[in-house]
């Protein structure tokens, strides 16, 4: 699959890195020769220096024969123009990164005229991630599959946890709940465990189950946390706007601290039900004055990773139970988790995941099982993919115990009609099923790749 990426910014670089790891044929266009040289030294890609909106530059990149063009330059207008030109000269599919809420609200009109296959809004995608975590505060991270019917949540084994020193088989027997622990992070190691795997304090579990079953599981462990009602958001950018709209609709009270006075005025007009404070959220006196200690959650969304990390650590010392920090730098995100801030979000990561979903779906559009949804977990070391079984083939109607799968691959969940099945050896796959596969490999492009 030949993919041309225009723009070597945060989203563009993240995408280029992830797609090149999976052996796609990647061409990267950017006007900054120094950045391209750095990318060339790190990755197995082809680079072209120039303006992605220049037809001649696009021809040099062989856009007329490209399967997909992804425009993620700094300007929305530039991205739309790049995609329009790419389709005019023959590119099969185009994706534009659009950040401006005004453009995104009228995306249905723009997609038709620009012949866009997809538009991605990094801040909206990140806001969706944060909202899921705040609506399910017991979890560090929440991903959804099967149109929201199944959730894959990250849960820490804390000091007082009933799960410590129990094997997974014992946990399933004790709780009798339809769920599956499909990945465990222990220190720097990641496991796809079997029933004999024994949990330890400090482990981070990734559990797949229906939402109702997860609620029952947390309740049986004595976690009866009240719903989050009061949220303090630091930083009033686009991500804050999208998140606040969702939280207000969910009945939460939201207070925003933003230091740009003009932006405060805009937010007051756009979000009349939220309280907007003009001030510097990095000022600890202001945070205390605005009710940090009584907040159910703090979400740090300023434009600087360092500020978000410091505010999050301070909120932790003040007893705030739920903290989410926007950390775009991948290395910093790993450090933050080690400091005890379990929930982080990255706009570039959320956008890259959305685009990777599309790429994998296109790649599999003619196979027996299409990729519907895909998420990377545990800092990208685990991949969870949802497949739709389209037709009868060699792996349908066979008991799973007789279906030979490679090591470090797990069939975590099956969706059939309106039922969610946590599978055992007696279950089988049927045409029309949704199947969640968890794997340590990123090169799984279709379902049969997991078979031995």
Are the CB atoms for 279 and 259 separated by under 8 Å?
Answer: yes
What is the rounded radius of gyration, in angstroms, for the C-alpha atoms of the chain? 23
What per-residue confidence (pLDDT) applies to 356? 84
C-alpha closest to that of 308 among 268, 349, 339: 339
pLDDT in 10s for each residue of the chain, 452 residues: 899 999 998 889 989 988 888 778 999 999 999 989 998 898 889 999 999 999 999 999 999 999 999 999 989 999 999 999 999 999 999 999 998 888 888 888 878 788 888 899 999 999 999 999 998 888 888 988 888 889 999 998 888 788 889 999 999 998 888 899 999 999 889 999 988 999 999 899 999 999 889 888 888 877 665 689 999 999 999 999 999 999 999 999 999 999 999 999 999 999 999 999 999 999 999 999 999 999 999 999 999 999 999 999 999 999 998 999 999 887 787 788 778 787 899 998 888 888 888 887 776 555 555 677 788 888 778 888 888 888 888 888 889 889 888 888 889 999 998 889 998 888 999 998 999 999 887 667 778 888 87
C-alpha closest to that of 27 among 51, 50, 52, 5: 5
- DSSP label of 190: E
CA dist list (Å): 127 to 133, 187, 239, 386: 10, 28, 6, 22
Buried-state track 279-288, b at ≥16 Cβ within 10 A, e below 16:
bebbeeebbe
Are the CB atoms for 26 and 3 separated by under 8 Å?
Answer: yes
Q: Which residues contact 347 (CB under 8 A, 6 or more apart)?
A: 10, 11, 122, 123, 125, 126, 239, 326, 328
Question: What is the Cα–Cα distance from 409 to 22, expressed in whole angstroms?
Answer: 17
What per-residue confidence (pLDDT) applies to 363? 65
Question: What is the Cα–Cα distance from 354 to 348, expressed in whole angstroms?
Answer: 10
CA dist list (Å): 183 to 24, 223, 349, 412: 27, 21, 20, 10
Strands 93-97 and 68-71: parallel
Q: Please give the backbone phi and psi of residue 138, each rounded to the nearest 5 degrees, phi first.
A: -70, -20
Which residue in the block uniquely carries the two structure tokens 């399910």? Answer: 136
Structural domains in the chain, sorted by start: 2-120 (3.40.50.720), 126-220 (3.30.70.1450), 230-320 (3.40.50.720), 360-450 (3.30.70.1450)
Q: What is the DSSP string of 384-396?
A: EEEEEE-S--TTS
What per-residue confidence (pLDDT) applies to 317? 93
Which residue in the block uniquely carries the two structure tokens 């303090």? Answer: 232
- From the CB of residue 443, how many other CB atoms can be counted at a distance below 10 Å? 10
Which residue in the block uniquely carries the two structure tokens 């994706």? Answer: 95
- From the CB of residue 418, how many other CB atoms can be counted at a distance below 10 Å? 6
């Amino acid at each position: 699959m030949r993919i041309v990426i225009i723009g070597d910014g945060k989203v563009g670089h993240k995408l280029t890195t992830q797609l090149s790891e999976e052996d796609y044929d990647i061409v990267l266009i950017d006007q900054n020769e120094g950045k391209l040289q750095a990318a060339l030294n790190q990755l197995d890609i082809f680079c072209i220096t120039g303006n992605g909106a220049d037809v001649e530059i696009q021809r040099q990149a062989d856009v007329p024969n490209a399967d997909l063009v992804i425009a993620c330059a700094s300007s929305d207008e530039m991205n739309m123009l790049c995609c329009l030109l790419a389709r005019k000269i023959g590119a099969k599919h185009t994706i534009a990164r659009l950040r401006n809420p005004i453009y995104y609200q009228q995306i249905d009109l723009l997609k038709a005229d620009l012949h866009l296959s997809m538009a991605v809004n990094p801040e909206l995608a990140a806001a969706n991630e944060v909202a899921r975590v705040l609506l399910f505060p017991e979890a560090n991270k929440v991903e959804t599959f099967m149109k929201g019917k199944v959730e894959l949540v990250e849960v820490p084994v804390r000091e007082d946890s009933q799960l410590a020193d129990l094997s997974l088989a014992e946990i399933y027997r004790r709780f009798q709940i339809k769920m599956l622990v499909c990945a465990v992070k222990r220190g720097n190691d990641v496991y796809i465990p079997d029933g004999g795997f024994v949990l330890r304090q400090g482990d981070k579990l990734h559990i797949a189950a229906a939402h109702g079953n997860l609620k029952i599981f947390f309740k049986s462990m004595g976690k009866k946390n009240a719903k989050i009602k009061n949220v303090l958001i630091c930083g009033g950018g686009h991500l804050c706007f999208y998140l606040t709209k969702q939280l207000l609709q969910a009945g939460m009270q939201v207070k925003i601290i933003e230091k740009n006075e003009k932006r405060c005025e805009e937010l007051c007009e756009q979000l009349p039900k939220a309280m907007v404070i003009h001030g510097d959220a990095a000022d600890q006196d202001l945070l205390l004055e605005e009710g940090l200690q009584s907040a159910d959650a703090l979400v740090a969304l300023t434009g600087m990773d360092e500020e978000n990390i410091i505010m999050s650590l301070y909120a932790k010392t003040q007893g705030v139970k739920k903290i989410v920090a926007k950390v775009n730098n991948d290395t910093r995100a790993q450090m933050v988790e080690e400091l005890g801030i379990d929930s982080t979000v990255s706009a570039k990561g959320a956008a890259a995941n959305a685009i990777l979903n599309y790429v994998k779906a296109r790649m599999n559009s003619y196979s027996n099982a299409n990729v519907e949804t895909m998420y990377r977990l545990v800092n990208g070391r685990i991949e969870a993919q949802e497949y739709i079984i389209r037709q009868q083939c060699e792996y349908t109607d066979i008991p799973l115990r007789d279906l030979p799968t490679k090591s470090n691959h797990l069939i975590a969940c099956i969706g059939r009609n309106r039922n969610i099945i946590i599978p055992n050896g007696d279950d089988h796959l049927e045409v029309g099923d949704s199947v969640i596969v968890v794997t340590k490999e990123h090169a799984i492009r279709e379902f049969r790749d997991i078979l031995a």
